[in-house]
Copies of this chain bind each other. A is one copy, B any other.
Amino acid sequence: MRIFVAQINPTIGDLEGNTKKIIQMLKKARQQGCEIVLFPEMAICGYPPEDFVLHDSFITEVEAHLHKIIPETKGLMAIVGLVRRNLSTGEKALLNSAAIVKDGRLMGFYDKWLLPTYDVFDERRYFEPGHTIQTWDYKGKKIAVIICEDIWQHAGYVGQTRYPKDPVVELIPLKPDVLLNLSASPYQFQKPDVRVKVCATAAKTLHCPVILCCQVGGNDELIFDGYSVYVDKEGHLIQLGKGFEEDEMLIDLDAAGSPCAFKYDLLKDLYSALVLGVHDYFHKSGFHKAIIGLSGGIDSALVACIAKDALGAENVLAIGMPSRYSSTGSVEDARRLAKNLGVEFQIIPIEHPFQDYLDLLNPYFRGKGPDVTEENLQARIRGMILMALSNKLGYVVLSTGNKSEMATGYCTLYGDMCGGLGVISDVTKMQVYALAKMINREKEIIPKSIIDKAPSAELRPGQKDSDSLPEYSVIDAVLQGYVEDYLDAEEVAKKYKIPLEIVEDLIKKIHRAEYKRRQSPPGLRVSKKAFSKGRKIPIVQKWVK
């Protein structure tokens, strides 16, 4: 039996475009002598469609597009993900389903049992869990079909949830010949590897091969990495789809496959995820050009590299905006980086408007001395310049703040937080350094002086990040413990050997910066717990004082 895994990149709501892509894949599969074609979860509408599914006309159209696909399955069996109406009883009016289509006929549906409702997922908001399972006959073979989360609980990887049923276990008595899984499983650091383990666990339980077809592409904050999986009935990895691009995987279940190892480069993957996230955010919405404030610091340097790889050097405009506190070195570093990347670089000094604001506002400052106000003014002037160029010339501003800054509020609302997309807002400062070093592995793209200098916002004389913040390694440990793993202050202090008062102070900073983060641009999510999506914390609260 030959199976074609269509690892496609759908766009949310582009029913026509996605359907066209699905039909193309069916043709290719047929040309290549395949019999079964597997698509990702919700392939027709893209995942996650969010509240679009609450529009009745959206559901009607999705169902109509399924009926455009059905006649195109002559000689094939196709498994296509979609949202559809729940015509039976139940709390919710919709189902997250797989249509099983054979030779131009709709055979039926499988409805997802396990509906993730935690972190970035809110499937219980829309969908009723399915409650029946069967195998589907194809030339005497029994094909089992499940959807994404359905396979995860069996291997013990579901967040803050313990579903009462396990579709993998329910399949045991049905003795399937192969298990197919339609997925839209968002990337997070170190996750692709886990997906293979999850498939292997199910394969071993069911004594049959498992094939998981993943959506690939960026949809707002979420990045889907692809890496579709084929494991044999012993749970050995036999084939792996490409990461971070569309792919077609041809699987011959009758051929003896030899196990391969999933060797992936964690940092390279993280970088590829960010590049894909930027690329799709732009291209799926019809934008092509990005503008970046290039300070000579490491964060904007990394974002410039990502932007160049995502959009092409010719579509990136870098602006240096020195103030009276910028070092000459920083401007020169920025210029050298731009040259290395081949991107246009302009310098627009901000001294004039800065002095102007100081003169204008001084009478209202009631005799108070310089403080964070003057620092924010500089950051906001830069934001205004970038936004003006964006408005006039059609560039989208890329925001360059990293996760450690966003966590502690070491950033200016409406200043360096400006932008259409937060490229590295879920990348910690330590990861920023690691990525910069990786970029320079073969040759120096990011000037070494950018990587080596002590982090500074250069918003007052001699300023260093370390004046206001603990070491970034400490901040990042607290982020890991408190934000990602929900440990309390004592547990974090103990686990990472950090003085309790420093941990407590950082936790306070994290909560005090909540109002800023609420107004940040959507940020690409690459960690287990991002601030930008999947974390809901009140602004006004007295739990952390």
Chain A, 63-98, contact with B by CB distance < 8 Å: what is the 0/1 string?
000000000000000000000000001111100000
Contacts A92-B160, A519-B519 given; does A219 touch B538 at CB 8 Å: yes
In the bound complex, residues from chain B placing their C-beta under 8 Å from that of A544 are 13
Q: Are A388 and B13 in contact (CB under 8 A)?
A: no
Stretch from A169-177, A189-197, A369-377, A453-461 forming part of the interface with B: A369-377
Chain B residues whose C-beta falls within 8 Å of the C-beta of A486 in the assembled complex: 54-56
| Interface pair A90/B164, CB less than 8 Å apart | yes
Q: Chain B: which residue is nearest A390 at the CB level?
A: B373
* CB contact between A55 and one of B13, B281, B488 (< 8 Å): that residue: B488
Residue of B nearest to A348 (CB): B360
A482 smallest CB distance to B (angstroms): 9
Listed residue (A376, A413, A520, A543) with the most chain B CB atoms within 10 angstroms of its CB: A543
* In the bound complex, CA of A406 to CA of B275 (Å): 31
Of all chain B residues, which has the CB nearest A482?
A: B55
Q: Are A52 and B13 in contact (CB under 8 A)?
A: no
In the bound complex, residues from chain B placing their C-beta under 8 Å from that of A360 are 348, 352-353, 385
Closest chain-B Cβ to A413's Cβ sits at a distance in Å of 7
Distance A376 CA – B541 CA, assembled complex (angstroms): 34
Cα distance A520–B372 in the bound complex, in angstroms = 22
Q: Which size class do A's interface residues fall under? A: 35 or more
Chain-B contact segment, one of A117-125, A307-315, A444-452: A117-125
A17 touches which of B353, B540, B542 (Cβ 8 Å) = B542
Chain B residue nearest to A14 in the complex (CB): B542
A11 an interface residue at 8 Å Cβ cutoff?
yes
The 8 closest A-B pairs by CB, nearest first: A13-B543, A14-B542, A124-B124, A373-B391, A57-B488, A13-B541, A50-B536, A414-B414
Residue A420 at the chain B interface, CB threshold 8 Å: yes
At the interface, yes or no: A102 with Cβ under 8 Å from chain B?
A: no
**Is A261 part of the contact surface with B, judged by Cβ < 8 Å?**
no
A184 to chain B: closest CB distance in Å?
13
Q: Is A255 an interface residue (CB 8 A)?
A: no
Q: How far is the CA of A90 from the CA of B164 in the complex (A)?
A: 6
- Tell me, in angstroms, the Cα distance from A376 to B536 when the chains sit together: 31
Among A366, A371, A488, the one with the most B-chain Cβ atoms within 10 Å of its Cβ is: A488
The answer to whether B389 and A540 touch across the interface, beta carbons within 8 angstroms, is no
Question: A420 — which chain B residues lie within 8 A by C-beta?
Answer: 515
Contact yes or no, A160 B353, CB < 8 A: no
Interchain CB contact (< 8 A) of A371 among B162, B281, B391, B414: B391
Residue of B nearest to A544 (CB): B13
Contact A380 B372 (CB under 8 A): no
A469 at interface (Cβ–Cβ under 8 A)? no
Give the number of times this chain occurs in the complex, counting copies. 2
Are the CB atoms of B14 and A543 closer together than 8 Å?
A: yes
What are 8 pairs between A and B in contact, CB < 8 Å? Answer: A89-B164, A93-B162, A117-B117, A361-B385, A373-B392, A376-B391, A383-B414, A387-B414
- When distances are taken between beta carbons in the complex, the residues of chain B under 8 Å from A280 are 540
Q: Does A265 interact with chain B (Cβ within 8 Å)?
A: no
Task: Say whether A537 faces chain B, with CB atoms less than 8 Å apart.
Answer: yes
Q: Which residues of B contact A58 (CB under 8 A)?
A: 543
A288 to chain B, nearest CB (A): 14
Asked if B357 and A353 make an inter-chain contact with CB atoms under 8 angstroms apart, the answer reads: yes
A11 touching B540, Cβ below 8 Å: yes
Contact A54 B160 (CB under 8 A): yes
Answer whether residue A340 sits at the interface, using C-beta atoms and an 8 A cutoff.
no
Does residue A467 face the partner (Cβ distance < 8 Å to B)? Answer: no
Residues of B with C-beta under 8 A to A541:
11-14, 52
A501 to nearest B CB, angstroms?
17
A247, B95: Cα distance in complex, Å? 44
Contact B388 A384 (CB under 8 A): no
Digit string of A227-257 for contact with B (CB within 8 Å is 1, else 0)?
0000000000000000000000000000000
> Pick the contact of A413 from B49, B117, B346, B387 — CB < 8 Å?
B387
A223 at the interface (CB under 8 A from B): no
Residues of B within 8 A of A414 (CB): 380, 383-384, 387, 414, 418
A27 within 8 A of B: no
Let me know if A522 is at the binding interface, CB within 8 A. yes
Contact in complex: A538, B50 (CB < 8 Å) = yes
Residues of B within 8 A of A389 (CB): 361, 364
Q: What's the Cα separation between A536 and B12 when bound, in Å?
A: 13
Q: Is A130 an interface residue (CB 8 A)?
A: no
Whether A161 contacts B92 in the complex (CB less than 8 A), given A124-B117, A220-B540, A388-B377, comes out as yes
Interface centre among A11, A122, A538 (most CB of B within 10 A): A538
A393 to B371, CA, bound (A): 11
